[in-house]
């Protein structure tokens, strides 16, 4: 079997399985489970057969371009695949654990209301994971990265009629979106460093890399730190460690496959894939070692005081991944891969048996008395108690994220009183009309004004996105503000050279169509039900098909890779100059907040306990 045939077969299996599973009735439990574990079994056989052949023929990395989606001056969006040792190790890990988890889930979730939905999402997750590990460039990796984020949200919110799973799904998705900022800005800087869209093999080629970094060492260092932000957000490293236990609200099998084994190690995969890019940057290596050790020490203490067994396992896994980051920083790639395999299989086993352990401990408590504890007041004992309280509060990691990121954004958004539903269209129409007038009459602009206009419209778009994210009343207003944000970004970039009408079409086509469909859905739903953003309404209970269509609309509006807008997002960053740091930052932040705002709308309208009192009220937590 050739490398091309192997990649097509390996990636095609979860894609075909996912598409087929969508059309199977939810009552056909056996068919759904057979498709899922058969897909993983075939992948496992494929990677074993190809791996043996690959190692016997010299274990040479292979890379090839699959598809060129769009080309422009110094820009090409293409799908690229790479097979090397790192790819095959993670492929073996993914196929093995997916096969085991799907067999386990077949019986564990028997007659569960969301049985079909679970296996649909597992297959979707498997597709995203496969795209990441086989990706040969940043664009292909980012496609899988986005799929992984959405499937995480759906699995955490699996018990969608309960409040805490839905709220925790939004929390986790918000941290994932912070990681997206790192990927987006890293792609932008790499494009300026190499003046084209490059592959991982080109990026890691020592001769070309050293030549590029010699003239732009600052860009290389910033890019390395952006890689860490993305890796830390995905692998729950400091300062993002608090989200992983919240993700355990999903079913035990999804906790095992996502947050014990596969998804949580994707951050380590990103660092390993880009290791040759930053391995000679001493400042970053020292930072990575310190961050990994701090994460390991702090989360080890937190894990020891958790009352939930799944939270204990989550923080223990974070601590081990912190040590894996340290090993990667020292260049110990093989040791890190062995550590990843051991940690993944161990945490999967621990999570799968956790329900049995809980039952055993409860029975043990009934027959054993409590030990008498004597409190001592020495200096060492007081220090221990302070550390214990810090661990019990999880070192206030959640509070820090809210204080320095989310609360300032909410404060900015709530201050925009003028953008209520009555005036929002007029205000936006006026600003956009001014922008279009200036764009048409560019010849009358001074060079200074022309240089500042992109930043102005990008900042204006950022404020609009924040307002959409913090809106507590009108769904249609928030939805419209998201669309206007995209228009403002497109207008901002139009003042830079080489940004023609085709680029506007690529970027705005999916956004505008998604907004029109979503606006129509909300208008029709409002005629039947009360719809707002001040609560979770759970309308998916009575309108499941409408909820599914609206989810697709939200993903399209957020630039998910099901519309041309995903390519457009990458395209617009190729037109941002290296000197326009503010423009790049506010554009990236706007896109991230847009994604949060759209998923927040979907969650509040369709998920959570049903607003109607004649429906059964579920427990807050799973």
pTM of the entire predicted model:
0.91
pLDDT of residue 358: 65
Residue 232 confidence (pLDDT) above 90: yes
Q: 163: pLDDT confidence band, cut at 50, 70 and 90?
A: confident
Mean pLDDT lowest for which of 191-200, 476-485, 610-619? Answer: 610-619
Q: How far apart are alpha carbons 100 and 261 in whole angstroms?
A: 12
Does residue 423 register a pLDDT over 70?
no
Distance between CA atoms of residues 408 and 396, nearest Å: 17
Report CA torsion sign: 147, 153, 156, 160.
negative
d(CA 321, CA 315): 10
Please state the rounded mean pLDDT for residues 548-554: 93
Minimum mean pLDDT range among 3-12, 161-170, 235-244, 421-430: 421-430
Q: What sign for the dihedral angle of Cα 100, 101, 107, 111?
A: negative
Helix (H, G, I), strand (E, B) or coil at 65: strand
**Range with the largest mean pLDDT of 136-140, 215-219, 569-573:** 136-140
Work out the pLDDT band at 82, boundaries 50, 70, 90.
very high
Judge whether residue 412 has pLDDT over 80.
Answer: no
Residue, of 7 and 611, whose pLDDT is higher: 7
Confidence band for 546, pLDDT divided at 50, 70 and 90: very high
Give the model's pLDDT for residue 340.
Answer: 95
Identify the bridge partners of residue 102 per DSSP, sorted by sequence position: none
Q: Given pLDDT bands bounded at 50, 70 and 90, which one contains residue 284?
A: very high
Has residue 322 got a pLDDT over 90? yes
Q: Please, what is the average pLDDT of the chain?
A: 85
Q: How confident is the model at residue 405 (pLDDT cuts 50, 70, 90)?
A: confident
Return the pLDDT at 403: 82
Residue 618 pLDDT = 63
Say if residue 505's pLDDT is above 80.
yes
The number of angstroms, rounded, from the C-alpha of 147 to the middle of its chain's C-alpha atoms is 7
Say which residues have a Cβ less than 8 Å from residue 346's Cβ, sequence separation at least 6: none
Residue 613 predicted with pLDDT over 80 = no
The whole-number pLDDT of residue 619 equals 61
Report the alpha-carbon distance of residue 518 to residue 115 in Å, rounded. Answer: 27
Strand partners for 451 = none
Q: Supply the pLDDT for residue 211.
A: 60
Q: How far apart are CA 265 and CA 273, in angstroms?
A: 12
Q: For residue 366, what pLDDT is reported?
A: 54
- Mean pLDDT calculated for residue range 176-200: 87
Task: Decide which of 436 and 27 is more confident.
Answer: 27
User: Is the pLDDT assigned to residue 598 strictly greater than 80?
Assistant: yes
Q: What is the mean pLDDT of residues 479-508?
A: 83
Residue 146 above 80 pLDDT? yes
According to DSSP, the residues that pair with 81 across neighbouring strands are 64, 135
The percentage of residues in the chain with a pLDDT greater than 90, rounded to a whole number, is 36
Query: Phi first, then psi: what are they for 57, rounded to 5°?
Result: -105, 20
The pLDDT-based confidence of 324 (bands split at 50, 70, 90) is very high
Q: What is the pLDDT of residues 578-589, one digit of tens each?
A: 888 888 999 999
Pick the most confident of 258-262, 318-322, 400-404.
318-322
Binning pLDDT at 50, 70 and 90, where does residue 356 land? confident
Q: Which pLDDT does position 615 carry in this prediction?
A: 64
**Helix, strand or coil, per DSSP, at residue 104:** helix
- Helices 475-494 & 581-606, crossing angle to 10 degrees? 160
The model's confidence at residue 247, banded by pLDDT at 50, 70 and 90, is confident
For residue 197, pLDDT over 90 is answered with: no
Give the pLDDT confidence score for residue 279 in this predicted structure.
87
Q: Look at residue 499 in the predicted model and tell me its pLDDT.
A: 64
- Position 77 scores a pLDDT of 85
% of the chain with per-residue pLDDT over 70: 91
CB 134 within 8 A of CB 7: yes
- Residue 416's pLDDT band, with cuts at 50, 70 and 90, is low
Which string of DSSP letters, residue by residue, matches 360-405? HHHHHHHHSPPPP-----SHHHHHHHHHHHHHHTGGGHHHHHIIII
Q: Are 259 and 314 in contact (CB under 8 A)?
A: yes
Q: What pLDDT shows up at residue 3? A: 82
- C-alpha 549/C-alpha 531 separation (Å) is 17
Task: Tell me the sheet residues that pair with 71.
Answer: 76
- Please tell me the distance from the alpha carbon of residue 215 to that of residue 537, in angstroms, as a whole number: 55
Residue-by-residue DSSP string for 241-309: TTHHHHGGGS-HHHIIIIIIISGGGHHHHHHHHTHHHHTT-HHHHHHHHHHHHHHHHHHHHHHTT-SSH
Rounded Cα distance between 230 and 335, Å, is 22
Q: Can you give the pLDDT at residue 86?
A: 94
Band (pLDDT 50/70/90 cuts) for residue 383 is confident
Is the pLDDT at 519 greater than 90, yes or no?
A: yes
Neighbour tally for 335: CB within 10 Å: 13
Q: What is the mean pLDDT of residues 373-393?
A: 77
């Amino acid at each position: 079997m050739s490398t091309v045939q192997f990649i097509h077969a390996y990636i095609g299996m979860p894609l075909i399985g996912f598409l087929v599973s969508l059309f199977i009735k939810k009552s056909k439990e056996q068919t759904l489970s057979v498709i899922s574990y058969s897909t993983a079994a075939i992948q496992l056989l494929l990677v074993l057969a190809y791996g043996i052949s690959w190692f016997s023929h010299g274990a040479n990395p292979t890379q090839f371009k699959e598809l060129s989606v769009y080309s422009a001056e110094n820009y090409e969006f293409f799908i690229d695949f790479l097979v090397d040792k790192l790819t095959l190790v993670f492929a073996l890990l993914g196929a093995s654990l997916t096969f085991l988890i799907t067999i386990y889930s077949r019986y564990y979730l028997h007659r569960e209301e969301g049985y079909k939905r679970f296996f649909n999402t597992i297959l979707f997750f498997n597709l995203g994971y496969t795209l990441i590990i086989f990706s040969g460039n940043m664009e292909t990796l980012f496609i899988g990265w986005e799929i992984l984020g959405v499937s995480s949200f759906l699995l955490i919110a699996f018990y969608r009629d309960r409040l805490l799973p839905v709220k925790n799904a939004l929390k986790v998705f918000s941290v994932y979106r912070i990681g997206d900022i790192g990927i987006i800005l890293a792609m932008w800087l790499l494009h300026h460093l190499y003046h084209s869209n490059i592959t991982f093999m080109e990026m890691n080629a020592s001769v070309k890399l050293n030549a590029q970094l010699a003239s732009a060492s600052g860009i290389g260092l910033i890019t390395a730190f952006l890689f860490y932000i993305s890796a830390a957000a995905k692998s729950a490293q400091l300062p993002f460690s608090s989200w992983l236990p919240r993700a355990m609200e999903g079913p035990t099998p999804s906790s095992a496959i996502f947050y014990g084994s596969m998804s949580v190690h994707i951050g380590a995969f990103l660092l390993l894939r880009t290791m040759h890019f930053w391995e000679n940057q001493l400042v970053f290596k020292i930072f990575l070692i310190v961050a990994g050790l701090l994460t390991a020490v702090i989360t080890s203490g937190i894990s020891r005081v958790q009352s939930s067994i799944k939270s204990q396992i989550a923080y223990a896994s974070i601590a081990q991944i912190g040590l894996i980051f340290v090993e990667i920083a020292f260049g110990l790639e093989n040791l890190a891969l062995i550590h990843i395999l051991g940690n993944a299989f161990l945490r999967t086993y621990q999570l799968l048996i956790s329900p049995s352990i809980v039952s055993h401990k409860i029975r043990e408590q009934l027959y054993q008395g409590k030990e008498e504890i004597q409190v001592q007041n020495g200096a060492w004992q007081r220090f221990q108690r302070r550390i214990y309280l810090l661990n019990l509060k999880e070192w206030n990691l959640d509070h820090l994220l809210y204080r320095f990121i989310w609360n300032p954004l909410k404060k900015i958004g709530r201050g925009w009183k003028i953008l209520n539903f009555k005036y929002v269209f007029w205000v936006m129409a006026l600003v956009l009309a001014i922008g279009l007038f200036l764009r048409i009459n560019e010849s009358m602009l001074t060079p200074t004004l022309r240089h500042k206009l992109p930043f102005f419209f990008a900042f204006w778009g950022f404020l609009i996105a924040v307002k959409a994210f913090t809106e507590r009343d009108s769904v249609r207003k928030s939805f419209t503000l998201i669309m206007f944000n995209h228009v403002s970004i497109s207008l901002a970039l139009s003042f830079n050279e080489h940004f023609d009408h085709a680029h506007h079409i690529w970027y705005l086509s999916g956004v505008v169509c998604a907004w029109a469909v979503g606006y129509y859905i909300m208008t029709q739903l409002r005629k039947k039900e009360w719809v707002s953003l001040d609560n979770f309404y759970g309308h998916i209970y009575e309108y499941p098909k409408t909820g599914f269509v609206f989810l697709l609309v939200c993903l399209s509006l957020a630039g998910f890779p099901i519309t041309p807008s995903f390519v457009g997002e990458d395209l617009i960053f190729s037109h941002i100059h290296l000197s326009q740091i503010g423009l790049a930052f506010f554009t990236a932040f706007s896109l991230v907040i847009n994604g949060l705002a759209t998923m927040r709308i979907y969650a509040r309208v369709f998920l959570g306990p049903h607003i109607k009192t004649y429906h059964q009220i579920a427990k807050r937590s799973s």
